[in-house]
Chain A
Amino acid sequence: METDWVCTFFDIGGQSIAYIEVKFIFGVPMLNFLWGGMILIAVVYGTLTGHVKEVGNAAIDSSKEAVELCITMLGVMALWTGMMKIAEAAGLTEKFRRAVRPALRFLFPDVPEDAKANDYIASNLLANILGLGWAATPFGLKAMAELQKLNLARGGKKEVASRAMCTFLIINISSLQLIPVNIIAYRSQYGSVNPAEIVGPAIVATAVSTLAAVVFVKLTERKEKA
């Protein structure tokens, strides 16, 4: 049951950004199997169906394409992280962290209002909302560490997730992304007439899935109390 990841921190202008790559999920080297499997299956299936030449060409073309895609991404990503830096410097993110306090109180009744966990949870949610998934993980890990401290202080067991932890994870996994920056960049690279067209419907989809998560969490908590 080992989970292992490589975390690279970029530190530019005092702001550190982490890029996290997971190697093992519950002891399974996930990408080794997924990625290795893809290539092995492609070669075997391609040979059997007589597409082996195409498979070889695809290998060369795809690697080239990844670089072309990155050039599109460079522009969109840089624009986005640049705007985020403005929001941070102007105090907009701080304003947001304060604005979500009432929501956090509702979602995490077990977390005291002055707990550090609140700040980390708010930062994590904000990064997720803005489509900066890689920036969300470090805050999320810190939030979990703080929630664990609260759990232990309350006499909870270390190996058993506290209510607040379950809620935090479920909300996180329900996805909160407001602007799917990556998807917009990919759509634009592959010739979408209106790459940002999906923003409105995506907000609805994300809101409904998050709502389902909140309802589930509240119902389960009520059931456990009873």
Chain B
Amino acid sequence: MEMLMYLSDFCIPLLLFYMIGYGLVTKTDIYKEFTEGAKDGFQVTIGILPTLIGLMTGVGMLRASGFLEALAGWLSPVAELFSFPGELVPLVVVKMFSSSAATGLVLDIFKEYGPDSYLGQVTSLICSSTETVFYTMSVYFMAAGVKKTRYTLTGALVATVTGVAVSTILGGML
């Protein structure tokens, strides 16, 4: 675990060092490229703002109504059979369909329990290690005109369940 924490501390600084160093060595106009690229980041963030407003409002209302808490309570007995926190069941389910709706739930968990709490850590890990199964499948296969997806769904679910399980275990060790 300590190794992993070192990795966390070093990952971003090392990556930045490597990119800047590589840029300088290859005589890239790094500052100009950086400022141009940073502009793109603005566009992307502005692009997701409407979605964030909508979904954070939806989840915020749901939290305030007490429904999320009640839902976690109902789901807990089943989730606990797998030593999984009931509070995170809605997140895992929603994450398979819509990443923006999942983001709303993630932010709610961070706000409610704190990003450094057990639930916050597991949430962070689940989000980093799973994807929107049905969203990705439908977008990619529809674009290619594929109707029979064969073993894709099974494989995708195997990967998702593994990701959630590992996240829960690692989150407990943090």
> If the complex has contacts A62-B59, A83-B16, are A173 and B160 also in contact, measured as CB distance less than 8 A?
yes
Nearest Cβ on chain B to A164's Cβ, whole angstroms: 11
Residues of B near A83 (CB, < 8 A) are 15-16, 19, 34, 37
From residue B22, how far is it (CB to closest CB) to chain A in Å? 5
Identify which of A147, A172, A208 contacts B131 (C-beta below 8 A).
Answer: A172
* A99 interface hit (Cβ, 8 Å): no
The proximity string for B residues 91-129 relative to A, scoring 1 for CB distances below 8 Å and 0 otherwise, is: 000100111110100110011001110001100110111
- Give 9 A-B contacts (CB < 8 Å), ordered by A residue: A22-B98, A51-B64, A82-B34, A144-B143, A175-B129, A190-B110, A190-B115, A196-B8, A204-B4
Task: Report yes or no: A31 in contact with B101, Cβ–Cβ below 8 A.
Answer: yes
Contact with B along A136-159 (1 / 0, CB 8 A): 010011001101100000000011
Q: Which of B43, B166, B171 contacts A17 (CB 8 A)?
A: B43
B40 near A212 with CB under 8 A, answer no
B contacts with A: majority SS: helix
Shortest C-beta distance, A108 to chain B (Å), equals: 14
Q: Taking A46-B64, A62-B59 as contacts, is the C-beta distance between A205 and B170 under 8 angstroms?
A: yes
Contact A159:B148 (CB < 8 A) given known A82-B35, A91-B26 = yes
Closest to B16 in A: A83
- The answer to whether the Cβ of A226 comes within 8 Å of any Cβ in the partner chain is no
* C-alpha spacing A158/B149, complex, angstroms: 11
Contacts of B155 in A (CB 8 A): 166, 169-170, 173, 213, 216-217, 220
Choose from A20, A85, A140 the contact partner of B34 (Cβ within 8 Å). A85
Q: Are A173 and B7 in contact (CB under 8 A)?
A: no
| Number of A-B residue pairs with CB-CB distance less than 8 Å in the complex they form | 399
For B83, what are the chain A residues with a Cβ–Cβ distance below 8 Å?
none
Q: How many interface residues does A have (CB within 8 Å)?
A: 115
Interface residues of A in 168-186 (CB under 8 A from B): 168-170, 172-175, 177, 179-180, 182-183, 186
- Say whether A21 faces chain B, with CB atoms less than 8 Å apart: yes
Residues of B within 8 A of A182 (CB): 103, 127
Which of A12, A174, A191 gathers most chain B CB within 10 Å?
A174
